[in-house]
Amino acid sequence: MLHDYLNVMVLFLVVGLGAALTKAKWLNASTNTVFTKLLLNIALPATLILSISSDFTRREFIKLLPDIILPTTVILVLMGLAFAVAKVIKVERSDLGLFIGLCSMSSTIFFGIPITLAVYGSHGLPYALMTYASQTVIYWTLGLYLLDMGKSEAQSGQSTFKTVIKDIVNMPLLAFFVGVGLLLIGFRLPSVIKEFLTTLGGMTSALAMLVVGTIIFLSGLKNIKITRALCFVVIFRFIVAPIVVLGLGWLFSIDSQMIKITMLICSLPIPNTTVILAEKYKVNVFFATEALSLSIGAYLIFLPVILFAIHSV
């Protein structure tokens, strides 16, 4: 466990470097946009294709596929619980969809992939990608519907449909299916291509953590005003989510490795894209930004507990 924690701490040192470079004006919102594009369209797809096609056998992957029921059900249960809590604490209707998304979705790209690599190595990525695939579909369909429901019916349906078509088919998801296709047909990548993808994929963790560090500095942790809604977001992310994973994993008799990695992925800070979507859909951007910054800061506190729970499964 200590080894895993130290590996994750290395990633947070890069986060600190990102914040320091932003303070020094080496990095800014514009460089963050460039880094994000490089991460999502180059580095991460290379990592996914290489990991799935090289680190797993066809039999292992086919055996793993039914376990996608775990992350899918976990996300839906968290959304249902968040909806109930929102009613109890009287979250504004315009913020209801945002609150549900903050409580149920995790940062599978910027945190999930680097942390899975740090704790389990590339062999753990296909497990993590089950959660990524589930969340991508739910996030860009039901999640957008909830975020968009404050608009008029005509505007909501049109904008949501266009966004789903545009964003659900993204490079990481395409890379996931390319890797699966190569694995299923038994195609072995030439050594020069493997080395090329390895070199590109080596940027994944560094780019992701530099982006996170820039976001933290630009948003500012000291400006956060603690509210009941923010407290419940943190409780859902780091307490409720792992408990739900454990309970459903036991209920469905899921493989222990799948339970561990799903718990690791579902107990992460909120996705960076939530802030972008909050601005796009004219909901509470300030609340989304506060939740992002607070969840990243709180993650350092909860991480040892989460790692201990994972190693106890």
Q: What is the pLDDT of residues 6-33, one digit of tens each?
A: 888 888 899 899 999 999 999 998 998 8
**What is the CATH number for 97?**
1.20.1530.20
Task: Identify the pLDDT of residue 166.
Answer: 61
Question: Can you tell me the distance from the alpha carbon of 181 to that of 120, in angstroms, rounded to the nearest whole number?
Answer: 23
Task: Identify the pLDDT of residue 165.
Answer: 60
| Cβ–Cβ < 8 Å for 182, 53 | yes
Task: Identify the pLDDT of residue 164.
Answer: 57
Token code pair at residue 86: 């929102």
Q: Residue 116's domain spans which residues?
A: 1-312
Counting the structural domains of the chain, the total is 1
Task: Identify the pLDDT of residue 154.
Answer: 40
Question: Can you tell me the distance from the alpha carbon of 128 to that of 68, in angstroms, rounded to the nearest whole number?
Answer: 10
How many other C-beta atoms are found inside a 10 Å radius of the C-beta of residue 260? 23
Question: Can you list the residues of the chain whose pLDDT is less than 70?
Answer: 1-2, 149-169, 221-223, 276, 279-280
Residue whose structure tokens are 């409780």 = 235
User: How many helices (H) and strands (E) are present in the chain, helices listed first?
Assistant: 18, 0
| Cβ–Cβ < 8 Å for 115, 7 | no
Residue 37 DSSP SS3: helix
Task: Identify the pLDDT of residue 193.
Answer: 93
Task: Identify the pLDDT of residue 3.
Answer: 74
| Cβ–Cβ < 8 Å for 219, 279 | no
Model pLDDT for residues 235-252, shown as the tens digit of each residue: 999 999 999 999 999 999
